[in-house]
Amino acid sequence: MENDTPPRVTRRRVRTRARLLDAAFQVFAAKGFGRVSIEEVCEAAGYSRGAFYSNFATLDELFFALYRERADLIASQVADALAQDGSGLDVPASVDRVTEVLLLDVDWLLVKTDFLVHAARDPAVARTLLDHRTRLRRAIADRLLRTRGHTALPAVLGDVDGAAHAVVAAYDGVTTQLLLDRDAEAARVWLKQLLTALLTDGSRNPA
């Protein structure tokens, strides 16, 4: 009986943590990180403050855990989307898959922007954000590296790392507009055009 207890406790704690993170995501997206209290997160999750403090020491800690969880998921989705081609790179098809992943959720962009503002004022937090951006760029650069010899990149980008930086910069610019006008379809089309132009000689039209 004693051997069965730890797994049950662990599963329950995992479920509690997951519900707190999901509730926090909704509350942060709706109100902004700086305007949310622990009580509001607990209420949205249906838990007491005790359940909160058994998983997180502070609201900041929960926010960081939420960001890392979502950021890691998106980085994995981008890597998976880019891995679906063979040795060559079908730019329009890959761009289609990546833009669908990156522009999936305006709420995520709101939370991410809160995290960016927070990170700009705290070097330790900034390192967390920079780590995520590095993983995202690395996923893109690794895919482009595997296509070398099959698909040529514009010389102006320098190398695959330069191309990966350009892709992330294009995404940053387009999503800023998306946060303001909430037109996901227009943002998807515009990002598709930008990425296709960046990753080819500009003579190919997006599909």
The pLDDT of residue 204 is above 60: no
pLDDT at 41: 96
Q: 70, 111 in Cβ contact below 8 A?
A: yes
pLDDT at 15: 92
pLDDT at 199: 75
| Mean confidence (pLDDT) of the chain | 81
The closest of 149, 176, 146, 177 to 164, measured between CA atoms, is 146
Q: In this structure, how many other beta carbons lie within 10 angstroms of the beta carbon of residue 189? A: 14
Query: 45: pLDDT confidence band, cut at 50, 70 and 90?
Result: very high
Token pair in block for residue 8: 């049950």
- Beta-carbon-side half-sphere exposure of residue 157 (alpha carbons within 13 Å): 22
Cite the DSSP H helix spans in 54-105: 59-82, 91-102
pLDDT at 203: 45
Average pLDDT of span 45-59: 93
What is the Cα–Cα distance from 147 to 188, expressed in whole angstroms?
Answer: 24
pLDDT in tens, 148-192: 555 566 666 777 888 888 888 888 889 888 999 989 889 888 888
The pLDDT of residue 205 is above 50: no
Largest CA distance in the chain: 68
pLDDT at 164: 83
For 48, residues 6+ apart whose C-beta sits below 8 A from its C-beta are 42
Its pTM stands at: 0.71
pLDDT at 149: 52
What is the Cα–Cα distance from 46 to 40, expressed in whole angstroms?
Answer: 10
pLDDT at 207: 43
Q: What DSSP letter does each residue of 172-189 carry, written as one string? A: HHHHHHHHHH--HHHHHH
32: helix, coil or strand?
Answer: coil
